[in-house]
């Protein structure tokens, strides 16, 4: 029996105690440098504590008084010292090597560890002049932290230099890789919390190194922070042996370097030596690859930093271990105002950092320490890559009209809606070969977007076989990103957009729920960023949802879920857009619009299979510009008040709605039908609720004041009610959609089960138009029999009847 490494000899070294132990040794810092680095770190730590506790007396010029303490103590001390420790060691190398570097803080609530150095290097005061570099500014800086009306304890959008808030954990590594694709000079340093490292998205994101090209892309330097603890628990990775952890990262394809300990002096030397080694190794890898032009996947360096949680904080409080334990996760000393012992401990703790030696009389960091930070844009807090809108250039767009499908009459020919889009995206890529990428989980070809491969293939830095040339479409310089992890793709795309580039993500409708929470967080980031004047606009996140619920002939029930729209609609109307183009030309028009837009999450729903085509390019543009409209050619109301409104949103649903009108016309030649198609879903909302919303007047004039509306909707039907419940004619609105019924079904069978098929819709009309109530009884029976016959056919032959499959709008 092989047992785990319970080897007692290894055990002590699982603790972050004592003199530094590191893979790379040496003493690169001379005594003066060492002293200065440590003083700068003290200043950072002092600020972190100040943010959590103080609302006044920020430099402790006066003895600490309870009234200086915030009424409510919020914030997280635990990971802050390790973060600022890393930050300032990076500063040294940025200066020394003139590095172009940004910093991503993975640990959840570590903002004090970042805000400190950001303030000390002057950026904070430049952006927020009231948080000036003096006593008064520092007081405001402290007070605003985790304070009503102030800023949070994550690296929120308000934080200069942040592109990664980290409120939800798991995305720091994929974000970091996203930032360096096509940024050959950028080194993104990402601190990964060992709590966060337990999440699934993070556990697979380490494999991002198999998609990084050392010639074309920049580099990511991951630093796993073995802080040791979560809220109340040890972390997994901090409690397995060195051997196991090292093997894990070698298995992930990295060269891991250790820095462990608690002794400040030796830890500074170890970190300085190790970071420099890693930066040099990155530069060597890049130089060699760029010089030789030879591509092989390097084993990129990464650092495992084991330092005590709450490092330099109170060692023990009320008889409990605090430094180096989970008890320092949040506020290590509570009840300061009421507990004199804690009060005393706090003042001692803060004074240990010797603020009087760090700041001058006015409250400004002393000049010799100020010198340690990089200058201008080289400061990680001022690097334009972390305010990517500054670097964003509009895409050079081909004219989407040139990619349209030739339509002479509506509903006569079938085309795969995503195919022309694929050709369009190919040329978008051709025109923007350093600022545009396409993302998808193993489905770019399956989604019929494979024309893209004509100009750029899938990036692949792992091993190749000879047969890969037969259609696998792999290349080390590919610009199509495919990995079977929606989390990783979404993280890459967000990182890519946040650093000023553009992208397009296509994915499976049912499984886009995998990234519900990531989309939520990105929407929240956009919503807040929009309110921050200095944040420049970034390209929208464009999400094509395909392989939709209505075409799951062989995948069945698990692959049927159109509910992502419900999730997206919960986010702020300022950042969310939803489009359901019914055919190829409208899909092109919508996609062009989305690719040009900024600061939105654009969701486009379009199935990848062949569908009937309705609108020529001019009509498509007009229709998409309005967002919804009457299709006169499909209507029989001749501009008069109709008997019924048939509305639809979504490709399959539009076809069935059209087929229903044909059935109705056949049976009831004098029925006045108004046919409305909706592309831009948010047009349905009142204008007071969403910027795209229709006025009540316009809505009423389209949907009438009192006529029945039969609405055939792509998703769950209640979503339409949610959007329209305030409208005058809502009481006559009858919505059909997916009702969570399905299995292995032919397309028509699935439609029938959920009552979105032509027969059900025609029956709905008969049931709701007063003049058909009696006159239509016989027709209704006929329609029901046709449904039964269609289902019987499908169950016997495994396919829909040819007249259904080949159905077209009549000439």
Say whether residue 314 binds its own copies (CB under 8 A).
no
- Residue of the chain from 415, 433, 528, 610 that contacts its own copies (CB under 8 A): 528
Give whichever of 747 and 776 is closer to its own copies, judged by the CB atom.
Answer: 747
Taking only Cα atoms into account, the Rg of the chain, rounded to an integer number of angstroms, comes to 30
Say whether residue 744 binds its own copies (CB under 8 A).
yes
Beta strands in 55-159 (DSSP E): 100-105
Stretch that binds its own copies, among 126-134, 422-430, 460-468, 599-607 (CB under 8 A): 460-468
Question: Exposure string (b/e) for 363-390, b if CB count within 10 Å is 16 or more?
Answer: bbbeeebbebbbeeebbbbbbebbbbbb
Give whichever of 206 and 400 is closer to its own copies, judged by the CB atom.
Answer: 206
Say whether residue 284 binds its own copies (CB under 8 A).
yes
Say whether residue 547 binds its own copies (CB under 8 A).
no
Rounded to the nearest whole angstrom, what is the least distance from the CB of residue 795 to its own copies in the complex? 4
Q: What is the Cα–Cα distance from 5 to 396, expressed in whole angstroms?
A: 57
Rounded to the nearest whole angstrom, what is the least distance from the CB of residue 229 to its own copies in the complex? 9
Say whether residue 806 binds its own copies (CB under 8 A).
no
- Residue of the chain from 321, 771, 773, 778 that contacts its own copies (CB under 8 A): 321
Question: Exposure string (b/e) for 554-575, b if CB count within 10 Å is 16 or more?
Answer: eeeeebbbbbbbebbbebebeb
Q: What is the Cα–Cα distance from 125 to 119, expressed in whole angstroms?
A: 7
SS3 category, 715: coil
- Residue of the chain from 57, 101, 125, 146 that contacts its own copies (CB under 8 A): 146
Q: What is the Cα–Cα distance from 54 to 58, expressed in whole angstroms?
A: 7
- The phi and psi torsions of 265 (rounded to 5 degrees) equal -60, -55
Name the burial class of residue 781, with classes exposed (0-12), middle (13-18) and buried (19+) by CB atoms within 10 angstroms of its CB.
exposed
**Cβ-Cβ contacts under 8 Å for 511 (sequence gap 6 or more):** 441, 486, 559
Site for its own copies in 429-448 (CB under 8 A): 442-446
Give whichever of 641 and 725 is closer to its own copies, judged by the CB atom.
Answer: 725
Say whether residue 477 binds its own copies (CB under 8 A).
no
Say whether residue 276 binds its own copies (CB under 8 A).
no
- Residue of the chain from 468, 641, 666, 789 that contacts its own copies (CB under 8 A): 468
Give whichever of 494 and 592 is closer to its own copies, judged by the CB atom.
Answer: 494
Say whether residue 395 binds its own copies (CB under 8 A).
no
Name the helix (H) or strand (E) containing 492. helix 486-498
Stretch that binds its own copies, among 290-298, 348-356, 403-411, 594-602 (CB under 8 A): 290-298
CB 645, CB 703: distance < 8 Å:
yes
Q: What is the Cα–Cα distance from 767 to 660, expressed in whole angstroms?
A: 14
Task: Single out the residue of 742, 755, 748, 743 nearest to residue 797, CA to CA.
Answer: 748
Say whether residue 465 binds its own copies (CB under 8 A).
yes
* Binding-residue pattern over the window 180 to 219 for its own copies, x denoting contact by CB under 8 A: ---------------xx-xxxxxxxx-x--x---------
Give whichever of 207 and 707 is closer to its own copies, judged by the CB atom.
Answer: 207
Rounded to the nearest whole angstrom, what is the least distance from the CB of residue 382 to its own copies in the complex? 24
Say whether residue 563 binds its own copies (CB under 8 A).
yes
- Residue of the chain from 412, 513, 626, 768 that contacts its own copies (CB under 8 A): 513
Rounded to the nearest whole angstrom, what is the least distance from the CB of residue 329 to its own copies in the complex? 10
SS3 category, 41: helix
Residue with tokens 């209640």: 718
Q: What is the Cα–Cα distance from 181 to 216, expressed in whole angstroms?
A: 8
Give whichever of 170 and 404 is closer to its own copies, judged by the CB atom.
Answer: 170
Say whether residue 718 binds its own copies (CB under 8 A).
yes
Site for its own copies in 14-73 (CB under 8 A): 14-15, 55, 70-72
Name the helix (H) or strand (E) containing 718. helix 718-724
CB 721, CB 743: distance < 8 Å:
no
Q: How would DSSP label each residue in 721-741? A: HHHHTTSGGGGGEEEE---S-
CA count, 13 A, side-chain hemisphere, 69: 23
Stretch that binds its own copies, among 56-64, 412-420, 471-479, 601-609 (CB under 8 A): 471-479
SS3 category, 313: coil
Give whichever of 148 and 367 is closer to its own copies, judged by the CB atom.
Answer: 148
- Residue of the chain from 364, 571, 608, 714 that contacts its own copies (CB under 8 A): 571
SS3 category, 14: helix
Rounded to the nearest whole angstrom, what is the least distance from the CB of residue 75 to its own copies in the complex? 7
**Cβ-Cβ contacts under 8 Å for 84 (sequence gap 6 or more):** 41, 44, 45, 48, 113, 114, 116, 117
Site for its own copies in 220-249 (CB under 8 A): 230-236, 239-241, 244-249
Stretch that binds its own copies, among 293-301, 672-680, 705-713, 772-780 (CB under 8 A): 293-301
Stretch that binds its own copies, among 60-68, 113-121, 410-418, 570-578 (CB under 8 A): 570-578
Say whether residue 566 binds its own copies (CB under 8 A).
yes
Q: What is the Cα–Cα distance from 45 to 264, expressed in whole angstroms?
A: 13
Rounded to the nearest whole angstrom, what is the least distance from the CB of residue 752 to its own copies in the complex? 11
Distance of CA 110 to the CA centre of its chain: 20
- Residue of the chain from 325, 424, 505, 699 that contacts its own copies (CB under 8 A): 325
Rounded to the nearest whole angstrom, what is the least distance from the CB of residue 73 to its own copies in the complex? 9
Give whichever of 225 and 501 is closer to its own copies, judged by the CB atom.
Answer: 225
SS3 category, 622: helix
Say whether residue 9 binds its own copies (CB under 8 A).
no
Residue with tokens 């494979």: 450
Question: What's the DSSP call for residue 543?
Answer: E
Rounded to the nearest whole angstrom, what is the least distance from the CB of residue 46 to its own copies in the complex? 21
Give whichever of 192 and 624 is closer to its own copies, judged by the CB atom.
Answer: 192
Question: What's the DSSP call for residue 717?
Answer: T
Give whichever of 27 and 472 is closer to its own copies, judged by the CB atom.
Answer: 472
- Residue of the chain from 463, 640, 670, 803 that contacts its own copies (CB under 8 A): 463
């Amino acid at each position: 029996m092989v047992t785990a490494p319970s080897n007692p000899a290894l055990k002590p070294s699982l603790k972050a105690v004592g003199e530094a132990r590191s893979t790379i040794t040496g003493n690169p810092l001379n005594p003066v440098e060492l002293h200065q680095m440590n003083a700068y770190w003290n200043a950072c730590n002092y600020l972190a504590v100040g943010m959590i506790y103080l609302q006044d007396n920020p430099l402790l010029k006066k003895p600490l008084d309870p009234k200086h303490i915030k009424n409510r103590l919020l914030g997280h001390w635990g990971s802050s010292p390790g973060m600022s420790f890393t930050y300032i060691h990076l500063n040294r190398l940025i200066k020394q090597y003139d590095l172009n570097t940004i910093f991503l803080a993975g640990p959840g609530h570590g903002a004090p560890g970042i805000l400190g150095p950001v303030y000390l290097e002057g950026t904070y005061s430049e952006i927020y002049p009231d948080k000036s570099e003096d006593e008064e500014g520092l007081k405001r800086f402290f007070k605003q932290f985790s304070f009503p009306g102030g800023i949070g304890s994550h690296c929120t959008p308000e934080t200069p230099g942040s592109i990664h808030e980290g409120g939800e954990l798991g995305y720091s590594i994929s974000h970091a890789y996203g930032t360096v694709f096509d940024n050959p000079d950028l080194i993104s340093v990402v601190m990964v919390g060992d709590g966060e490292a337990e999440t699934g998205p993070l556990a697979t994101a380490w494999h991002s190194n198999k998609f990084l090209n050392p010639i074309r892309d920049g580099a990511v330097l991951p630093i796993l922070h073995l802080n040791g603890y979560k809220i109340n628990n040890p972390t997994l990775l901090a409690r397995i042996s060195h051997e196991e952890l090292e093997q894990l990262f070698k298995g992930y394809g990295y060269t891991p370097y250790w820095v462990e300990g608690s002794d400040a002096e030796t830890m500074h030397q170890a970190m300085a030596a190790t970071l420099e080694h890693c930066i040099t190794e990155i530069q060597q890898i890049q130089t060699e690859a760029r010089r030789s032009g030879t591509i092989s996947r390097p084993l990129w360096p990464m650092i495992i930093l084991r330092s005590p949680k709450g490092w330099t904080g109170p060692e023990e409080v009320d008889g409990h271990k605090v430094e180096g334990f989970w008890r320092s996760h949040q506020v290590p000393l509570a009840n300061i105002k009421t507990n004199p012992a804690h009060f005393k401990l706090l003042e001692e703790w803060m004074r240990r950092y010797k603020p009087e030696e760090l700041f001058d009389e006015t409250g400004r960091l002393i000049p010799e320490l100020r010198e340690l930070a990089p200058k201008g844009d080289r400061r990680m807090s001022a690097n334009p890559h972390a305010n990517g809108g500054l670097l964003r250039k509009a895409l050079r767009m081909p004219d989407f009209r040139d990619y349209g499908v030739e339509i002479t009459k509506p509903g006569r020919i079938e085309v795969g809606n995503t195919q022309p889009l694929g050709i369009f995206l190919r040329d978008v890529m051709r025109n923007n070969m350093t600022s545009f990428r396409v993302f998808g989980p193993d489905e770019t070809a399956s989604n019929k977007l494979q024309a893209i491969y004509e100009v750029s293939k899938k990036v692949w830095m792992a091993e190749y076989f000879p047969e890969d040339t037969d259609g696998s479409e792999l290349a080390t310089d590919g610009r199509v990103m495919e990995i079977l992890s929606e989390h990783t793709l979404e993280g890459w795309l967000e990182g890519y957009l946040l650093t000023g580039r553009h992208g397009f993500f296509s994915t499976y409708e049912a499984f886009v729920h995998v990234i519900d929470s990531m989309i939520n967080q990105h929407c929240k980031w956009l919503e807040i960023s929009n309110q921050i004047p200095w944040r420049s606009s970034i390209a929208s996140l464009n999400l094509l949802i395909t392989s939709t619920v209505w075409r799951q002939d062989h995948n069945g029930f698990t692959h049927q879920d159109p509910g992502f729209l419900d999730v997206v609609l919960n986010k702020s109307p300022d950042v969310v857009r939803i489009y359901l183009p019914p055919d190829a030309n409208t899909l092109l028009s919508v996609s062009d619009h989305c690719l040009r837009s900024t600061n939105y999450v654009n969701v486009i729903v379009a199935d990848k299979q062949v569908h009937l085509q309705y609108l020529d390019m001019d009509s498509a543009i007009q229709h998409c510009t309005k967002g919804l409209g009457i299709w006169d050619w499909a209507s029989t109301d001749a501009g008069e008040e109709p008997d019924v409104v048939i509305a639809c949103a979504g490709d399959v649903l539009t076809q069935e709605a059209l087929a229903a009108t044909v059935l109705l016309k056949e049976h009831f030649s004098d029925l006045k039908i108004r046919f409305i198609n909706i592309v831009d879903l948010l047009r349905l909302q009142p204008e007071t609720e969403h910027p795209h919303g229709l006025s009540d007047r316009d809505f009423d004039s389209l949907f009438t004041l009192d006529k029945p509306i039969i609405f055939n909707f792509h998703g769950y039907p209640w979503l339409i009610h949610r959007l329209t419940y305030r409208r005058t004619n809502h009481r006559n609105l009858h919505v059909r959609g997916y009702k969570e019924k399905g299995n292995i079904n032919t397309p028509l069978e699935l439609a029938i089960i959920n009552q979105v098929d032509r027969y059900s819709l025609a029956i709905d009309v008969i049931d709701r138009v007063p003049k058909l109530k009696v006159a239509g009884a016989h027709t209704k029976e006929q329609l029901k029999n046709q449904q039964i016959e269609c289902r019987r056919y499908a169950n016997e032959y495994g396919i829909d009847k040819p007249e259904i499959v080949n159905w077209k709008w009549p000439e």
